[in-house]
Amino acid sequence: MKIASFNINGIRARLPVLLDWLEQAKPDVALLQELKSTDETFPRELIEALGYQVETHGQKSFNGVAIMSRLPLEDISRGLPGDDSDEQARYMEGTVIGDKSAVRVACLYLPNGNPAPGPKYDYKLAWMGRLEACASRLIATEEPALLAGDFNVIPQAEDCWDPAVWKEDALFLPQSREAFRRIESLGFSEAYSIRHPGMQEFTFWNYRAGAWNKDHGIRIDHFMLSPAASDLLLDCQIDTYVRGLGKPSDHVPIWVRLDG
DNA sequence: ATGGCAATCAATGATTGA
């Protein structure tokens, strides 16, 4: 099964690009972030017309995540556990039933955290602590599971065009990278780096200052696979071309193919 | 400095993102 993740930066503004990409890439499952839409204003009909079951966890103006699947999709849960006062729609889970195996998928939009230090960075680190608890719970099931989405973390220096520029940024600060490593320490594998060691590809280019034309990008969208899911990994690719389409998102899709 | 763009909500300007 092919599972993709795409921070679309506004579902309504991005609908033409999304539909274009879906028809070319034909993922079985698409995990979307930054819907910037409530569940009520999410344009589900055109996506359902392509054969997808659409499950959303929206919020007005900001955040928002969705799971869309052409395979049976069950047991949806919405929201990141661990803080009942957190109103931001950044996390949901569902179980995809493949031909060979069921995969628990978590779609996440991890907080940016800038400016750091400050309350937004505190929220990011707290959020990552709660995510680690989810990761522990998922790995304990010993079933195939993955965490995917916009992590807003640059894992290592090779994952950005100029580490010096990002040195003080919340996406690259040591504490952010350490929190990312802690999830790996639980037993999760970051799919792209497993499949393409030493390669430099990006998933985000700022709209400003001609970043795309200069290839001033960063790699912040990731798939983290549990051991049981890693055993099924066949491929992981980044659909870079999507950044060059008309009216693009600032992120591009990344996907994995699992033998499931 | 990735200043310099884009999306959204709301009302011509502010907020947020990374």
pLDDT single digits (tens) A60-78? 999 999 999 999 999 999 9
Q: Which nucleotide is nearest to A217 (CA to C1')?
A: B2
- The percent of chain A in helix, strand and coil, each rounded to the nearest 5, is 30, 30, 45
Whole-number Å distance, CA A237 to C1' B4? Answer: 32
Whole-number Å distance, CA A17 to C1' B13? Answer: 29
CA distances from A28 to A9, A25, A83, A100 (A): 21, 9, 32, 14
What's the pLDDT at A162?
Answer: 94
Q: Is A243 helix (H, G, I), strand (E, B) or coil?
A: helix
Cα–Cα dist A174/A43, whole Å: 39
A236 beta partners = A256
Report if pTM > 0.75.
yes
Supply the mean pLDDT for chain A: 97
What's the pLDDT at A154?
Answer: 97
Q: What is the CATH number of domain A2-258?
A: 3.60.10.10
Alpha helices for chain A (secondary structure H): 15-25, 44-48, 119-140, 163-166, 174-185, 191-195, 227-230
Whole-number Å distance, CA A206 to C1' B2? Answer: 6
At which residue do the structure tokens 């179980």 appear? A95
C-alpha A51: how far from chain center: 22
C-alpha A70: how far from chain center: 19
Report the sign of the C-alpha dihedral through residues A252, A202, A188, A109, in that order. negative
Nucleotides of B under 7 A from a protein CB: 1-9, 16-18
Q: Which nucleotide is nearest to A169 (CA to C1')?
A: B18
**Which DSSP state fits A8?**
-
Cα–Cα dist A230/A238, whole Å: 18
What is the mean predicted confidence (pLDDT) over A69-95?
97
What's the pLDDT at A21?
Answer: 97
